[in-house]
Chains A and B, each alone.
Chain A
């Protein structure tokens, strides 16, 4: 009993740090929450106001004249880029996992699986570098004009393709970052399925692919769902790669898939310097409110995924520590 009492406080630091993050961000952002109200989430005007004027009192808070903070464009940008990323990443992740688990010669399997797991460790700023140096010129010169011309009949595919910085580029880079996570997790789940079901299906005359598709894949349905949700959380909070390829639009709703956007996470990095110009501090507090909203979204997303896993009886997956 003594030992347990001894390490419990130390262990609690892990849980407390999450609570402390939420509470302190909340306290810091509270004046902004009161000043902005619900308009924060549904308006599209991030405006620091006249920074050379004298501060005025509004809603009981001291702000610069004309200041208003609405982040609808951030919420839209974050959700759309994540949606694109997940729509691309799930089929690719599951397909790659199937190929890794059954498709390649057994000799190569550990090596290629190892390769995919290592890819999950590549830092996001390196993905950003790749997107900035190689992907954006390639997309803006070759792919986007072609897509706008040939696939213009699909909604949001038509129109100006811009400079290559934007929603679709963002989605592509994000999907590349989360595909290894989904692929590694689903592969591990596929490999650890009981062999009996597979043998039964094979004995009935099913081919290896039919077994994989109709027997194994439905068996790991929950893992696919949970890893998708967790990967969604990753994409929602991704900062550096998005910062380098999104175009960092301000107060701007996308009108096609090539439009520059900002996400909540990248906006915090790109705007803190200018927010510090606001002598009342309301801009910095509003950025804290952005961080708070982002934190809340990621807590909800991750919480749902965790509860899904706990209650599905799937003890925590041991597929890499990112889970």
Chain B
């Protein structure tokens, strides 16, 4: 820090012509380069969004929502249904342990379990999704003989979602003022009741944001599903195991390399639906957070 401060001061207190010119160039170039990086990033991203939304919008029609896939044509009803089932299944499985871990980390930070749990959870975020998918494949799909199924796919997505839910609920619970807990304890309320009846309702918007975020990750995932969900052109008949299930991201990946226009159209339609849904959830999650921040400011 010291060196930096001296550098800045030296440049400022001795304003020779050369130095001030150099400063000007340095400033101008700096802003230009940082603007350039942002513009390039924005341009690439707009290109992605335009590709997905323009071509996807052309490919969308009623048939996409009402018909099942036939080979590489038809509609996407089976895939839409499958994506919803396995994502919601994964989230529902992940909420109890994820939330419990978040509560534990926020409320009981004194023992040896909390730091270990936090470290493991943080590392689990970074474990590649394909590793989780392969783990579920060798254990549940092969060893337990569940085969490609809703249950295996949901569990793979649940493991992926766990650390996100854990992290966001811990952060949300930590933002509940400690004085509220103290007030509860002073009234003779047990820790469990304080947590469940006072802290949890206050932290709910934050927790909900985390759940929505995990949902958007689950909807957009492909790698852990390829060898756990498999693929099916038919609607789900309600079996948790021994029945493969279709999902939207598979359509994007597998149909775009087919040599048929119809297959490409389905891939773009699937990309449209997935991206739209993910961005929608992202916006909704932010709105939950902002609205809550606003409400707290007003009260």
Contacts and interface: CB of A to CB of B under 8 A. Distances in A.
A123 B126 contact: no
Nearest to A101: B34
Contacts of A116: 41
A237 B253 contact: no
Interface string A1-42: 111101110111111011111001100100000000000000
Find the residue from B131, B166, B217 having the highest chain A CB count within 10 A.
Answer: B131
A252 interface: no
Contact of A123 (B105, B130, B171, B278): B278
A95 B96 CA distance: 40
A56 interface: no
A302 B52 contact: no
B270 to A, nearest CB: 9
B97 A11 contact: yes
Contact of A122 (B9, B98, B139, B220): B220
A284 B281 CA distance: 37
Interface stretch (B72-80, B157-165, B177-185, B237-245): B157-165
A240 B253 CA distance: 8
Interface in B161-205: 162-164, 166-168, 171, 190-192, 195
Given A18-B127, A215-B4, A96 B41 contact: yes
A28 B35 contact: no
A180 to B, nearest CB: 7
B159 A21 contact: yes
A99 B31 CA distance: 7
Interface stretch (A43-51, A63-71, A142-150, A264-272): A264-272
Interface in B239-266: 249, 252-253, 256-257
A284 B210 CA distance: 35
A234 interface: yes
A303 B124 contact: no
B104 A8 contact: yes
A14 B162 contact: yes
A188 B80 CA distance: 35
Given A10-B96, A123-B274, A272 B253 contact: no
B222 A123 contact: yes
Interface of B is mostly: helix
B128 interface: yes
Contacts of B134: 25, 268, 287-288, 291
B208 interface: no
A38 to B, nearest CB: 21
B252 A7 contact: no
Interface string B22-41: 01001100110111111011
Contacts of B222: 123-125, 239-240
Interface string A118-142: 1101111111111011100000000
Contacts of B219: 123
B149 interface: no
A133 B11 CA distance: 50
Nearest to A197: B1
A2 B128 CA distance: 36
A128 B253 CA distance: 8
Contact of A114 (B31, B159, B166, B286): B286
A127 B41 CA distance: 13
Interface stretch (B42-50, B62-70, B291-299): B42-50
A318 B195 CA distance: 22
Nearest to A13: B97
B85 interface: no
Contacts of B216: 121
A318 B138 CA distance: 35
A179 B98 CA distance: 28
Contact of A210 (B8, B47, B97, B249): B8
Interface in B122-168: 122-132, 134-135, 137-139, 159, 162-164, 166-168
A1 B195 CA distance: 13
Contacts of A272: 137, 227
Find the residue from A2, A127, A240 having the highest chain B CB count within 10 A.
Answer: A240
A299 B220 contact: no
Interface of B: 1, 4-5, 7-9, 11-12, 23, 26-27, 30-31, 33-38, 40-42, 44-45, 47-48, 51-52, 96-98, 100-101, 103-105, 107-108, 113, 116-117, 119-132, 134-135, 137-139, 159, 162-164, 166-168, 171, 190-192, 195, 210, 213, 216-217, 219-223, 226-227, 249, 252-253, 256-257, 267, 271, 274-275, 278-279, 281-283, 286
Given A15-B121, A214-B4, A305-B126, 14 more contacts: A4-B191, A18-B120, A18-B121, A25-B138, A103-B34, A121-B278, A123-B219, A124-B222, A125-B274, A130-B48, A179-B41, A291-B134, A295-B127, A295-B128
Interface of A: 1-4, 6-8, 10-15, 17-21, 24-25, 28, 91-92, 95-96, 98-100, 103, 112, 114-119, 121-130, 132-134, 176, 179-180, 183, 201, 204-207, 209-215, 218-219, 230, 233-234, 236-240, 243-244, 265, 268-269, 272, 284, 287-288, 291, 294-295, 298-299, 301-303, 305-306, 316, 318, 321-323
28 contacts: A2-B192, A3-B191, A4-B107, A10-B100, A24-B138, A25-B135, A28-B139, A92-B40, A96-B34, A99-B34, A119-B45, A121-B220, A128-B252, A129-B267, A206-B12, A209-B30, A214-B5, A219-B1, A239-B222, A265-B131, A269-B130, A291-B131, A294-B128, A294-B130, A295-B127, A298-B131, A306-B122, A322-B125
6 tightest Cβ-Cβ pairs between the two chains A and B: A237-B128, A123-B220, A3-B192, A95-B37, A302-B126, A15-B120
